[in-house]
Structure 1
Amino acid sequence: MNMNSKVLVYIWVYIIFHYAIADENQLYYVMNSGNDDNSGTTQTNAWRTIQKAASKAIAGSTVYIGPGTYYETITILVQGNLFNGSITFTSLMPGNPAIISGENATVASPDGTLNLIYIENKSYLNIINLELANLKGSECSGVRIVGGGTRIELRNLHIHNILGGGKTGGAMAITVYNKNQETSLSKLIIDNCTLHDCEPAWSEALTLNGNIELFQVTNNRVYNMNNIGIDFIGGESDMGALGARSGQCYYNTVWNIHSSYDSSAAGIYVDGGSDINIGKNEVYNSDAGIEIGAENQGRIASGMVVHENYIHDNDKAGLLFGGYDFERGRVIDSTFQNNRLENNDVKHTEAGEIVVSFASNNFVYSNAIKPNIKNTILTVDQIGGLDNVFNRQSYYPNGLNANESNLIFNWGNQQYRGLSAFQNATQQELQASVLSSKAGSIRYPSMLCILPLIITFIASAKAY
């Protein structure tokens, strides 16, 4: 036997020996009637606490949690692996999910914050079909994930009444932070969760911040929050240079998002992230719709594709992109296409449906736009906002007998009344169209227009 063959034999012997002790079909049970001195392997010998399971479950196993309320703050100390699979924590009775309550909770997580479920530097974990509620603290979360790892899935969670957030922190539904610049948190999935009535205050209800890549945030419902609904962040000074990137945010519904301190909370927000697809979401009845920004000086948000979202009835603009001022970052090389914007700027700030500042080389194409009765379409800042391309929008003027001459465009330090005047002065929107604003007449552009986006989505999905 040659040396290479011997090495292969040793490797396979090690793998078989090392993982033979892990039973990938192992089941564990947690019941309110259980005892942590039990084996936990049957319902009649169930453990009493979820923390016991979170300390003992092996790779590939499933932990079934019986109905009822568990008054715990849990730190997950175990993890799955590539060979044996993930560890799954889920309710025993899908129609009667177990409740993890933070009522009177005082036991902090290892990082000093207060959380119902805390995960740090772990991989291959599934948290499914649980209700997490009634936690109060100045910095707390329903689920808090910290550090690097891969393949953590949060599915079908109901998280609510996480309260007490303030300037020094937030009371958030789901918090994901990774300062580690060497090891990313990759392939995170947050799907079909219902998040509501939390107090993120100066933070966000669902946030991904730092070195996080190849994520999916999909099919979630986020509502009744006192700051930003969903946020993807990069560039904060204490989080390192790497930010949230190369991810997907699809089919989420976000509403009633209103900041408690400045009335500018977006339903979906990117702050310094990059290469994120944001598509087929609905955002309404919030301070603002979807915003792509870069709050930190020198930070660039780029490669964003914002498409096929329905953004309507928000207090301020429906779609915003760019930095705030000279001391912030910029948004570049991004595409905003095939979105439907309708009746935003409810409070008549005169900013209109789209606001742009400190952004360049971005493309705004083929969106369907029906403004409110004021008919203001967009506001583009004179300094740092004019180097972007607008074309092929479909406009639906609001009002009886309204037409293209009623549309208002704020471009730099000039205001143009009428699409024709705007086209002639700026050479923008040369292929735009004006259509009837009768009820039900707004339509999405043809599938031919969005074919490149579909191809991009399919290609990026292969990364998973």
Structure 2
Amino acid sequence: MIFKRLFSLSYVLLQGILLFAACGHADHLDHTQTDAALQKSRYVSVRGNDLNKGTESKPFRTIARALEAISPGDTIFVREGAYHEKVMISKSGSSAKLITIKPYPNEAVAIDGEGLSIFGTEALVTIRNARFIQFEGFEIRNFKTQAKGNDVNGIIIDQGSKNITVRNNRVHHIENNASPQDGRSGHGILVIGNTAEALQDIIVEDNTIHDCNTGYSENLTINGYVDGFIIRRNKVYNGENIGIVAAGGYAANATASLNYVRNGLISQNEVYDIDGRTGPIPAFAQHNGAIGIYIDGARDIIVERNSVYRCGRGIGLVSETDHFPTRDCIVRNNEVYHNSLAGISLGGYLNYTGGGTLKCYVVNNTLFHNNIDKGYFDEIEGEIRLVESCTENIIQNNIIVAQPNSVFIHKYTNTGKSNAIDYNLYFSTGEGQWIWNGKVIRDQHTWKSTLIGDTHTIFGQDPGFISTTQADFGLRDSSPALAKGKFIGQAIHGELDLSGQARFESNRISIGAFQK
């Protein structure tokens, strides 16, 4: 079933990308037509007037007024300056006539929340029950609250919106600074399926999100009934909680069967310097548990070709909520390094949730020198960590380089079953070890016999990275990882490695995130 779903998802996403590209070309052509053309441009300027007609020579003053005036196929050009307003986008375009909102070419435009009031859940930009919208190129900044009960956001997409692209925006200083005991919450970008109609064909790409105080929430969130999305080439950094999350089980949607994210791609993002110790969560005060990329109670998600470093944990395939396991997901071709705790974590939390992680793949990742700090129980969590209810997961073709006297793989309990581990490369310049169901294992022979597997793995050979000091984890010609992995299938491994090169040649695949 997962192969069919992945093929269908890839086909749908490809068609969506082609459609958006085609529509963008049509938009360019329409700008060369006469004034009688159906597609028009509306203009906004800080020196304009909302009583104007919205032409280039007589622009509107506010983005809100321009949104009132648009029709399918129109483009709103916003002239340089700062606009202190909350923007609500609720009109729709069509597949042939996108609505586009963007700055005038080569001009910098900020939507600035300084001085704006916040009541309940609000955003500087909201895309609500809309279709075929492109929002791109803005700075979204300075939306802050200290009041109890507010949820402050840079951008929200919700209520069944479809065919939405949010591209090339810079979102920063979105801050909930309420007292920690008041349970503060906020998001840089929030994609939330909160109705009986799914959010679909959502693309969030090439954005930068930084320096946001999100409290108990996250920097870039996909939650609830979202069916079909792409989160790619975003940069997320300097956050106090999770970088990117695809979630389920958090009451975003009132119907339990709809209340989880599905069929998505999280690709080519860079997530770093996410430090939970700077936020309000008591458990993070001593231990940085903020995860860079987090799949929590979601299904059929691909996490590929991302760089995650200097976070709490690197990548999580985890369930925090009973009855919402993370399942049928793939984590592949990522580099995960220098994180405070585990590099990649699977399973439910100890003595907390039984949701678990089911039938997921962790393949062709490169993990390097994570576990900088001790875990919540004064333990080493492990480069790869399995906690509660991990069942039928495959961990294969990964380069796992542990710090001296650290842990390669740590399975905490005897819950879960049938996890297949093989064709990995383990290396440490000092003693490396494994922990399996509480048993410490210090040699490869005991590890193999305990696991009853990992028979094709490479032990103790330097993987031959180009430069660990420069975090260049490409492989030298002499690397023992070259062409030593096991090929499962393109649907599992993907077409490209982390550098954009072909992932395999003649069904020969290397271990780690890079083919070479």
Query: TM range, normalised to the smaller chain?
Result: 0.7 to 0.9
What do the CA deviations read for 1:256-293 (whole angstroms, capped 9, x no partner)? Answer: 11112222110000111100110000000011100011
**Distance 1:392-1:448 versus aligned 2 partners, 3 A rule:** closer
Letter in 2 for 1:452: G
Task: Give 3-state SS (helix, strand or coil) of 1:247's partner.
Answer: strand
Q: Which residue of 2 aligns with 1:249?
A: 266
Q: Which residue of 1 aligns with 2:405?
A: 374
Q: Which residue of 2 aligns with 1:433?
A: 458
Counterparts of 2:306 and 2:82, CA distance in 1? 33
Q: Which residue of 2 aligns with 1:66?
A: 79
Counterparts of 1:220 and 1:450, CA distance in 2? 29
Moved over 3 A (4+): 165-169, 325-328, 437-451, 453-458
Counterparts of 1:25 and 1:446, CA distance in 2? 53
**Distance 1:299-1:77 versus aligned 2 partners, 3 A rule:** closer
Counterparts of 2:216 and 2:482, CA distance in 1? 37
Q: Which moved more, 1:59-68 or 1:419-428?
A: 419-428
Q: Which residue of 1 aligns with 2:369?
A: 343
Residue correspondence of structure 1 range 164-175 to structure 2 within 5 A: 164-165=176-177, 167-175=182-190
Letter in 1 for 2:202: L
Residue correspondence of structure 1 range 134-213 to structure 2 within 5 A: 134-137=142-145, 138-165=150-177, 167-181=182-196, 183-213=197-227
What do the CA deviations read for 1:35-64 (whole angstroms, capped 9, x no partner)? Answer: 101110x22110000111122211111100
Are 1:50 and 2:87 matched, yes or no? no
**Distance 1:380-1:448 versus aligned 2 partners, 3 A rule:** closer
**Distance 1:427-1:234 versus aligned 2 partners, 3 A rule:** same
What do the CA deviations read for 1:323-370 (whole angstroms, capped 9, x no partner)? Answer: 114633111011000000000001144122011022100000010111
Displacement of 1:294: 1.3
Q: Which moved more, 1:341-350 or 1:268-277?
A: 341-350
Q: Which residue of 1 aligns with 2:125?
A: 117
Q: Which residue of 2 aligns with 1:267?
A: 292
Residue correspondence of structure 1 range 285-296 to structure 2 within 5 A: 285-296=310-321
Letter in 2 for 1:86: L
8 Å Cα contact 1:23/1:61 also seen in 2: no
Are 1:35 and 2:49 matched, yes or no? yes
What do the CA deviations read for 1:361-416 (whole angstroms, capped 9, x no partner)? Answer: 000001011111223111102231453111110112224xxxxxx32110002111
Q: Which moved more, 1:26-35 or 1:379-388?
A: 379-388
Question: Which of 90, 93, 115 is matched with 1:104 structurally?
Answer: 115
**Distance 1:448-1:415 versus aligned 2 partners, 3 A rule:** closer
Are 1:452 and 2:489 matched, yes or no? yes
Task: Give 3-state SS (helix, strand or coil) of 2:449's partner.
Answer: helix
Counterparts of 2:367 and 2:186, CA distance in 1? 31
8 Å Cα contact 1:139/1:171 also seen in 2: yes
Displacement of 1:451: 7.3
**Distance 1:208-1:165 versus aligned 2 partners, 3 A rule:** farther
Counterparts of 1:293 and 1:346, CA distance in 2? 21
Are 1:365 and 2:396 matched, yes or no? yes
Letter in 2 for 1:353: E
Task: Give 3-state SS (helix, strand or coil) of 2:489's partner.
Answer: helix
Counterparts of 2:296 and 2:123, CA distance in 1? 24
Q: Which residue of 2 aligns with 1:352?
A: 382
Residue correspondence of structure 1 range 298-313 to structure 2 within 5 A: 298-313=323-338
Are 1:383 and 2:414 matched, yes or no? yes
Indicate the RMSD between aligned Cα atoms, in angstroms: 2.2
8 Å Cα contact 2:237/2:273 also seen in 1: yes
Counterparts of 1:116 and 1:414, CA distance in 2? 52
Counterparts of 1:437 and 1:279, CA distance in 2? 21
8 Å Cα contact 1:31/1:43 also seen in 2: no
Task: Give 3-state SS (helix, strand or coil) of 1:424's partner.
Answer: helix
Counterparts of 2:332 and 2:399, CA distance in 1? 11
**Distance 1:438-1:248 versus aligned 2 partners, 3 A rule:** closer
Query: Which protein is bigger by CA-based radius of gyration?
Result: 1
What do the CA deviations read for 1:164-192 (whole angstroms, capped 9, x no partner)? Answer: 255544231101111223x1110100000
**Distance 1:346-1:336 versus aligned 2 partners, 3 A rule:** same
Letter in 1 for 2:128: E
Displacement of 1:85: 1.9
Q: Tell me the TM-score normalized by structure 2.
A: 0.78
Counterparts of 2:383 and 2:417, CA distance in 1? 17
Counterparts of 2:354 and 2:250, CA distance in 1? 12
8 Å Cα contact 2:397/2:485 also seen in 1: no
Are 1:75 and 2:100 matched, yes or no? no
Percent identical: 27
Question: Which of 307, 312, 318 is matched with 1:282 structurally?
Answer: 307
Counterparts of 1:44 and 1:447, CA distance in 2? 64
Displacement of 1:224: 0.4
Displacement of 1:146: 1.6
